[in-house]
Amino acid sequence: MNIRDFMRRGACSLMLGVLMCAAGVKASPETSREKLKAMYNANVRWEITDAGFSGSSQDGSWAGKPMLDYACSPELKSVETAAKAGDYEKADAEQLACFRNQYSRPQTKPVGSKSLRVAMWQDNIFGFDQQLSVLSEFEVGKQAKDLDIHLSSTGSFRDGLTTFMLMGRHKNGVVSFVASRDSSTPPILELQFHDGGTLGLEAVADAYIRHGTFSKQNYGTAKTLEVCNSGLKTGKAFDDDTRRTFIAFDLTGADDKKIKQAKLKIRAWSDKSGQKMLMFHVRPAALDEAEFTWENNTGYLYSWEGLPGGVHWDQLEGAHSQFPNWTQRLYWLATLCSAPCPMDSPPPMGRRRGR
C-alpha cells in the first residue's frame, strides 16, 4: 500500500464512522462490509488522484498544487522531480523509500518555543498535552544545592491550586532527591508581575509516587521527595523503581495574565552527578497528601527513552485506563503541530472513567 492509498483508506474509515453514527448503525459482526461500502458510496464522491496528491507540473511550475510540502524536507526532492516529470509511479517509489529511510537520517535539532517538547517526542517521551505541559529541563548534581528553575511559560497557570511534577529526563534508574515542604528548605514559587511586584509562595502540598509493588504506598509525609526514571532493564515505560514528585502551590488571586515570569526554588541532589530532570505543569491540580499514590494518580506521561522497542500501543500496567484510546488517536502528536498548546483551553479528557 502506498502513502496515497493509506490516506484514502484512512479518510474513508473516518467518513464511514461519521456516517454510521449519523445513521445510528452500531459496529457489530452483523454489520456487513457491503452495507457500509454502500453507505459510503451513496454519500461520498471523493478520490485523491496521483496528480492531486503529488502535484501536476507544466513547464516546470506547479499547475496543480501538491498535498506534500516539498520545501520542508530535502529528502523529498527526488519525489518532487518525479512528480514534475509526470512519472507518478517513480514518485510513489521515491516517497516510500524516503519514509523507510527516515530513521537512518541524523536527527535535526528542534527549534522554536516547543523545542523541548519536540526533543521529548524524539526520545519517545510522550505526554498528553491536554493534561500536562513541560516547563523546564534542569540538572542536579551529587552535592545538595539550592536551584532556581526558570519556568518557560506561565500561560497554563490558573487561579487556585497549581501543581508541578518532576520526572527524570533519562531512563537510567538513578534516584534524585528534592527537599520537601516539611524540611528546613521547602520549595518556593517566586512570581514576578508586569507592574514590578513580586510574590513568594511556599508549597501547600507535596508528595512523590512510586510504581509497581509500591503503587498503593503513600509518601505524603516524606521530608525528602524522590525522582527516578526507570524501566531500562525491564523494557517498560515504568517499573518498581519509577518515582515522580509533585509539588502544589496556591495561586489564588494571582492572575496569570499579570505574571511576567516565574521560577521554582528547590534544594535538590542526586545519587550521581549530571542528572537531568524535567518539570511539568499538570492537570488535574488536586494533591491530597494523605491519599496521593501512583494507583490513583497514574498521570499522563510515558517514557520509552532508550528502549530499542520504542512505544507500546497496548494497555500498560499502571497507566491511565484510556491509554490505548489516546495512543490510537495520536493525541500526543500535538507536540509537533503549530497550533496553540491545548493547555490554553479546557482539557477534553479530564474525566477519569473506567477506574
Residues of the chain by 3-state class (helix, strand, coil), percent to 5: 25, 25, 50
Please check whether residue 178 is in contact with residue 252, taking contact to mean a CB–CB distance below 8 angstroms: no
Which residue matches cell numbers 552527578?
273
At residue 248, the pLDDT reads 93
Domain range summary for the chain, segments of one domain joined by +: 3-104, 117-338
pLDDT of residue 235: 87
End-to-end CA distance of the chain, in Å? Answer: 39
Residue 275 has φ and ψ, to the nearest 5°, of -90, 125
Neighbours of 46 (CB within 10 A): 8
Q: CA 287 to CA 278: how far, in whole Å?
A: 19
- The residues near 320 (Cβ < 8 Å, ≥ 6 apart) are 298, 299, 300, 326, 352
Name residues whose C-beta falls within 8 Å of residue 259's C-beta, 6 or more positions apart in sequence.
154, 157, 191, 192, 193, 194
**Along the 355 residues of the chain, how does pLDDT read in single tens digits?**
444 444 444 444 444 454 444 444 444 444 455 555 565 555 554 567 888 888 888 887 888 888 777 776 677 888 889 988 999 999 888 888 877 765 444 443 443 445 788 788 888 888 765 667 888 999 999 999 999 999 876 666 766 788 999 999 999 999 999 999 999 999 999 999 888 889 999 999 999 999 999 999 999 999 999 999 999 888 888 899 999 999 999 988 776 668 888 999 999 999 999 999 999 888 766 789 999 999 888 667 889 898 887 777 777 777 777 777 777 777 666 555 543 433 333 333 333 333 3
| pLDDT at residue 337, as a whole number | 55
